[in-house]
Amino acid sequence: MAETPKSTKYLDPAVLAKLKNLGLAARLVVEGLFSGQHRSPHRGFSVEFAEHREYTPGIDPRHLDWKVFAKRDKLYVKQYEEQTNLRCYLLLDASASMGYSYTGPMSKLEYSCYLAATLAYLMMIQHDAFGLIVYGDRVRLNIPPRQGRGHLRTVLEQLENVQARGKTDLSRTFHELAETMNRRALIVILSDLFGGDTASPHSLLDALGHFRHKKHEVVVLHVLDQAELTFPFRDAGQIENIETGQTVASDADAIRNHYLQQLDAYLGEIRKGCLSRKISYSLTDTSQSFGTFLGTYLRRRQHQKAARTAI
């Protein structure tokens, strides 16, 4: 296993050890600059053998080198010149609502930073290019995708400095970003998806669809606090919006029932909208181990990729 960088606030060695063979393989064709494990959309250039790479589940078994297996009793995959790296953007929501934590071990922002750091590490060890974009109502930080340990260190240092503040304008931010990303890539969105779009998710889904229109693959990792899913505040007669400061006073039970109904409808529309746009969507809350959540997601992704390969 690759050595863990010095800046390790958001890297858990135990989680990395469990996930090291679960690379984030792209389902769609991606473009890249360097050798890696992902299929290139380009045609007409060298398909000569380049090197061997240790086999991990999910990689097309047709490229296994059985001669090497006979000699070493270990599975290796042939890599070819037309194979290119995955280009990935990690989009981290750092609006004020992401700083919320009720009784969980960490805030939604901290949880998302752990996810981002772990994904960046996995991409680093599989020689993929990854970048970090931090946003709220606008883009605050944009680190372009690159490869290597030094770049990982830069991303980890920036994650440690991220603070939750300001309002959210997901639709506008995503539309603007989609227009600037001209090369096919994997877009991983880490957000609670709360903001101006919450009342009606159609504009948010349209913005996510903009990425798909530009031929990107999109993954939405929806991070909430457990209290936001269960609303345990049965004696609460007043609700405050973290981002606007606006308060609403009403009957506590009425607020809870209305909130849960609205949340269920909102989540249902998000799931349905992502499915119809071929966007990978997964919901978690901060009471669940981020390593368990990410491991489950990556295994499911590998199984889906392997199933498509077998067809």
> What integer best gives the mean pLDDT of the chain?
82
Do 71 and 135 lie in one domain? The reply is no
Q: E strands along the chain, which residues?
A: 38-39, 49-54, 76-80, 83-84, 87-93, 129-135, 139-146, 186-191, 217-224, 238-240, 247-249, 280-285
Number of domains in the chain: 2
Question: Given 33, 60, 81, which residue is the final one in a domain?
Answer: 81
- pLDDT tens digits, 54-93: 766 656 677 777 887 787 887 877 655 445 568 999 999 9
Do 145 and 69 lie in one domain? The reply is no
The pLDDT value given to residue 239? 67
- In contact, 168 and 141? CB cutoff 8 Å: no
The pLDDT value given to residue 282? 96
Give residue 34's pLDDT band: very low, low, confident or very high (50, 70, 90): very low
**Sequence letter at residue 55:** Y
Do 153 and 95 lie in one domain? The reply is yes
DSSP letter assigned to residue 234: T
- In contact, 193 and 204? CB cutoff 8 Å: yes
Tell me which residue range forms the domain holding 94: 85-306
Do 252 and 142 lie in one domain? The reply is yes
- In contact, 16 and 23? CB cutoff 8 Å: no
Give the whole-angstrom CA distance, residue 127 versus residue 121.
10
- pLDDT, mean of residues 117-141: 92
Q: Which of 218, 221, 142 is nearest to 186 (CA)?
A: 218
The token duo for 207 is 């913005």
DSSP letter assigned to residue 111: H
The pLDDT value given to residue 43? 46
The pLDDT value given to residue 41? 58
The pLDDT value given to residue 77? 73
Do 64 and 114 lie in one domain? The reply is no
- pLDDT, mean of residues 297-311: 70
- CATH value at residue 208: 3.40.50.410
Do 168 and 70 lie in one domain? The reply is no
